[in-house]
Chain A
């Protein structure tokens, strides 16, 4: 008889299905392991949290774009001039004259108005407490800073007014908006002037171009799917180490579902911390956008508020998805009680359920009609098509990697080590590369599409910057003032020549308006012989000559010349000046001017018509400058602003890009750069984690005398093989998707090799990841890895 014989007889408890309480207890236990798991546990939780946090911050950022757009547009509308609907406001107590005082300075645009109140109660622009008096101005903080910096010295000469106030945020587009309102007592009602009685216009919003909608849909998928993949990767950080811990729990009686729930609990903890970090990153990021301009992007932090429904979706879906990913990942892992973690029997990946996804995507895109017939349904169909195609590529990739790697044989030791490792498990490789694949495939499609539709958004201007670099036009109260503009441009520092004309209109003396009230008239432009030669094919010219110019771009202009045959008596300008077309007037052909236009009408030298006698007149000048003179364009702009703040000035360029298209494109590339960085970070963490798990093996291989370069090459191959395959899938898929999308908008593919730069970027990302993982690799190859005590 022993003490053991005295113990009560017990039967082994029968396994029971745990209730909700039991499941929650397991989850809680997992969370406790994460919290009390020591340094290792915290590192794992932190890696997951930082990864999830970055992803969540990006998602919250994306969810804030609609609000951001809405707020910015609302402020933009609020500062529009309120000219009324009939455009015929009479001067009154609440009216004010306004002249656009916008101008370009180097590579920035300054916006604003000159304002002259006509009564005692003029309207206040948004963000302004008090209207500036004559010679005073209120400016945005960014403009104030620029004007007071050395960089803004020339601009200060242009806006040489006394600053009496600041425009608050409510009157600005963004924190770096350069804007001003100048008080004036000299502006008069005229062609360049608007009379207003309030600020703010509620423009009816035009529906967005369907092509742009497709572009935005593609961009969202390309940018957000990698973020989702990144989050899915982040929640698996440190998974192998965790599985070993769970094996110990199996030893003390935890069953497989329990271990899965505990793993889910651990992940949940990291994800919840990640959510908090994500919110913190997001808040910090939007504060940053308020104080730093990144690639011309900035925003008021208060504009960056996620759409509530999307924010809730993110905060709920991310933890749920992370738990789902963890449980799903554990399906292929057998955790046994004796601390043994073995990969479950490797079952070949199946193509049958993967392939239909991109096929459905392609079918949806093929079935879509041309872009200009897109309705809501069409946009939804295309969005679904793009999403299915891109996600399908990510699904097909692991199969391609596995099928290819299975066939690889032989090769030197580093190659063999890498190939065998990949043959054992292609999960890690495919997972890391999936993000890059979708980003590159989408990027290629995006690039092809944007270049393909380029003609629609990048217009050829017909301007010739080799003949003149800057154009200016303005209305003047007299011909004398108009002539002064040409003279002063000519005297400006760095100006080589000015093609300048004083422009007016002429009608037959005594002619009456027709039944529609239209008086037949002809354009009259006065300029020097050298100027006239730039506007028409004039072989010989002397002061006093007059030319009838045919061949203008508008055929109707040639008809107008009928009222001005040689000897015809004309009334020029308003008030009219009597003038007779000289008998020796010659007819010449028009010539494209540097601004891209063909003049039509009468070209007159000053000796034939004294412009100083003209009443209201306008001027157009095309200025050729010496581009070796620093800031020469600013000198010309300063001259123009000094003559007439309302003068329109424009730099000649061969193509003009649609601003909406340009901003979408630059936004896309900014976001793509961020996504690539995120993916690279995820790959680096995975790589280092894998190396950490193999620390002892690496040390043993070094003990055997294995060269470091051998292992470094092995790491490179291990990264490069899936990446090259991923790139192949991405390039094929991207080109296919790009072709399909261009087909929808009925455009041909203009360049099949557009994928090279993006493929290069993807390749460079991999090279960077490999290079950055070499220092940890070398550290882990130290003999210390052999020590067990």
Chain B
């Protein structure tokens, strides 16, 4: 059973999303909304459709049916190029693993989204360095991803996701590969930085302690979403 979140004032809204991979349904009428500056945790067991919901919301995957509206614009009506441009400019991403380009240094990795947006290399790297400082990994600027720990790598990934000052940050199990201490530090830094930038955060996790950093929780089960009745 799905409950539709109140869309008033929301930045990103999805209603009645359906998505199937072959004969397997991943989303079955899921709905979702997030407001500017709000941190929403999407929870649920493995295979429940959390990541698919995130991919649909971010315009990475096109749902089979349902609507997604970002800042009053219908994502379904956008071309692939327009959605790509939206992801480059307005969205940020943190994944569980394998997201840093192994051959680039940390500062180059963080500067990458800016450079994809056409920012000159020196300026992009200056801004990237500033974000590395905020995430307390500026000492790793010239290291490659293979030369640092998992926790350090995730902080670099968070810096990269925020360097473009996105309005929405999508984080898919950002601490899934980290120990609890590192995971908590990454979450603190992520949410602080996002709130500081007034960015909405869509946080996919199956861990309650990670979800605890959110303002609101949405539970996805069997492809359907349900808002939890609490606020922090």
Contacts and interface: CB of A to CB of B under 8 A. Distances in A.
Nearest to B113: A704
B84 A707 contact: yes
B98 A697 contact: yes
A712 to B, nearest CB: 14
B47 interface: yes
Interface in A405-448: 410, 412-413, 416-417, 420-421, 423-424
A673 B55 CA distance: 47
B60 interface: yes
Nearest to A419: B103
A706 B61 CA distance: 15
A703 interface: yes
A424 B116 contact: no
A778 B47 CA distance: 26
Given A700-B95, A705-B86, A787 B121 contact: no
Contact of B93 (A413, A700, A707): A700
Contacts of A786: 51, 55, 60, 95, 172
B103 A703 contact: no
Contacts of A789: 46-47, 51
B146 interface: yes
A343 B147 CA distance: 11
A700 B116 contact: no
A701 interface: yes
Interface in B70-115: 81, 83-89, 91, 93, 95-96, 98-99, 101-104, 108, 112-113, 115
B20 to A, nearest CB: 13
A423 B55 contact: no
B: interface residue count bin: 35 or more
Nearest to B46: A789
A704 B109 CA distance: 12
Contacts of A703: 55, 58, 60, 87, 93, 95
Interface string A777-789: 0000001001111
B216 interface: no
A514 B55 CA distance: 109
Contact of A704 (B116, B144, B172): B116
A705 B96 CA distance: 18
Interface string A586-622: 0000000000000000000000000000000000000
A404 interface: no
A417 B104 contact: yes
Nearest to A699: B60
Contacts of B108: 416, 420
A420 B95 contact: no
Contacts of B103: 417, 420-421, 423-424
A: interface residue count bin: 20 to 34
A786 B98 CA distance: 10
B89 A417 contact: no
Interface in A342-368: 342-343
Contacts of A412: 115
B146 A705 contact: no
Contacts of B112: 413, 704
Contact of A706 (B91, B95, B116, B144): B116
Contacts of B104: 416-417, 420
Contacts of A701: 101
Contacts of A704: 87-88, 93, 112-113, 116
Interface in B31-56: 46-47, 51-52, 55
Contact of A696 (B60, B88, B98): B98
A705 B85 contact: yes
B101 A342 contact: no
B60 A783 contact: yes
A533 B103 CA distance: 81
A710 interface: yes
A789 B91 CA distance: 24
A327 B113 CA distance: 40
Nearest to B144: A424
A704 B166 CA distance: 11
A718 to B, nearest CB: 10
B91 A705 contact: yes
B82 to A, nearest CB: 10
A65 interface: no
Contact of B88 (A417, A705, A787): A705
Contacts of A710: 116
A283 interface: no
B65 to A, nearest CB: 18
Contacts of A420: 101, 103-104, 108
A754 interface: no
Nearest to B54: A786
A702 B60 contact: yes
Contacts of A783: 55, 60-61
Interface string A688-716: 00000000110011111111001000000
B104 to A, nearest CB: 5
Nearest to B86: A705
B121 A410 contact: yes
A413 B102 contact: no
A424 B95 contact: no
A789 B223 CA distance: 14
Contacts of A416: 104, 108, 115
B122 to A, nearest CB: 10
A413 B60 contact: no
A413 B116 contact: yes
Contacts of B146: 342-343
B115 A413 contact: yes
Interface string A195-214: 00000000000000000000
Contacts of A706: 84, 88, 116
Contact of B101 (A410, A697, A702, A705): A697
A717 to B, nearest CB: 13
Nearest to B60: A783
A417 B101 contact: yes
A707 B108 CA distance: 18
Nearest to B173: A788
A436 B47 CA distance: 48
B33 to A, nearest CB: 21
B87 A787 contact: no
Given A704-B87, A786-B51, A789-B47, 8 more contacts: A424-B103, A424-B144, A697-B98, A700-B98, A703-B87, A704-B116, A705-B91, A786-B55
* 3 closest cross-chain pairs (CB), A and B: A705-B88, A705-B87, A420-B103
Interface of B: 21, 46-47, 51-52, 55, 58, 60-61, 81, 83-89, 91, 93, 95-96, 98-99, 101-104, 108, 112-113, 115-116, 121, 144, 146, 172
5 contacts: A343-B146, A703-B93, A706-B116, A786-B172, A787-B21
